[in-house]
Structure 1
Amino acid sequence: MTAYETAVGAAKAIDGKKGLNIQVIEIGDVSVIADYMVIATGNSSTHVKALADEVEYQLDKAGVSVSHIEGYRSNSWILLDYIDVLVNVFSEEAREFYDLDRLWQDGKPVDLTDIITD
C-alpha cells in the first residue's frame, strides 16, 4: 500500500466507527517525519480506544502493520505510527489542547468528500 492508501484506509476505518472531524493532511512537503497525518476525534475515552483499535485492525487486514503505538493507556490521545503515516486519535479536550490541525496548517488537506460519510 502507498502512504496515501494507508492514510485513506485509516480515515475509512475511523469513519466506520463513527469517528468525528476526520482530517487527512499531506505533510511530506513540509516535514520529514511522515507523508500524511491523520487526525480524528472520539467522543469518549472508550471511543478513542475503539477508533485506534479499528485502524490497527483494518490496516493489519490490508497488510500494513503498525510500527509503534503511543498513549494507548491514556485514551485521550493515541498515536499510531505507520512510518509514512501518523494516525492521531484524540478526545475532544486533547484535540483542542494540542491543536495539531493548526500546527500542520502548512500541509495540504486531502479531500475526503467521496471517501468518508462524515
Structure 2
Amino acid sequence: MGSKEMAEKIVGILEEKKAKDLNTIDIRDISVLADYFIICSGTSTTHIKTLADEVEEKMQEAGVELLHKEGYNSARWILLDYGDVVLHIFHEEDRGFYNLERLWADGVMKHRQ
C-alpha cells in the first residue's frame, strides 16, 4: 500500500469513529520524516484511545505494520507511526498548545471536518 492510499485509509477510519478537526498535511516536498501527517482530535481520553485502537486494528488487518506508538497510556496525544504516514491524535484541549499545523505550514494541508 502506497503512502497516499495508507493516509486515505487512516482518514476513512477516523471519519467513521467521529474524529474531530481532521487534517492531512502532505509533507513529501519539505521533509524526509514522512510523506503525510494526519492530525485530529478526540473529545475525551476514551475517544482518543478508541480512535487509536481502531486505526491500529484496521491497519493491521490490511497488512500495514505499526512501527511505533507513543502516548497511549496518558491518551492526551497519541502518535501512531506507520513510516510514510504519521498519525497524531490530540485531546481537544491540548491540540492548540502544540499547534502542529502551524509548525508544518509549508506542507499542503487538506482539512476534512
Instruction: State the TM-score, normalized to the length of structure 2.
Output: 0.95
Match of 1:97, SS state, is helix
Are residues 1:53 and 2:27 paired? no
Deviation for aligned residue 1:110: 3.5
**Which structure 2 residue ranges, 5 or more long, are not aligned?**
none
Aligned residues: 113
Local SS of the residue matching 2:105: coil
Residue 85 of structure 1: how far off its partner (Å):
0.5
Runs of 4+ in 1 over 3 A off after TM superposition: none
Partner residue in 2 for 1:92: 92
In the TM superposition, residue 39 of structure 1 has moved relative to its aligned partner by: 0.3
Residue type at the aligned position of 1:59: M
Aligned 1:4-19 pairs, distance under 5 A: 4-19=4-19
Matches within 5 A, 1:1-118: 1-110=1-110, 112=112, 118=113
52-61 or 77-86, which moves further after superposition? 52-61
Let me know the Cα RMSD of the aligned residues. Answer: 1.1
Between the aligned partners of 2:99 and 2:93, the Cα distance in structure 1 is 10
Cα 1:75–1:111 change in 2 (3 A) is closer
